[in-house]
Amino acid sequence: MLKTKEIEMSATRFDDRDIVYLDVDGTLILWSAQHPYKAFSAAPRVNVALAHEVRVWKSQRPHGDIDKRFLAMWSAGGQDHARWAAKEAEIDDLVDAYLPKPQAIIDDSYSWISRPDRVLWCKP
Amino acid at 93: D
Could you tell me the pTM of the whole model?
0.72
pLDDT along the chain (124 residues), means of 10: 43 64 90 58 81 87 66 93 96 95 76 60 54
Amino acid at 17: R
Q: What Å distances lie between residue 102 and 21, 26, 78, 105, CA to CA?
A: 11, 16, 10, 7
Whether the Cβ atoms of residue 89 and residue 45 lie closer than 8 Å to each other: no
Whether the Cβ atoms of residue 74 and residue 66 lie closer than 8 Å to each other: no
Sorted by sequence, the CB contacts under 8 Å of residue 90 that are 6+ apart come out as 51
Q: How far apart are the first and last CA of the chain?
A: 21
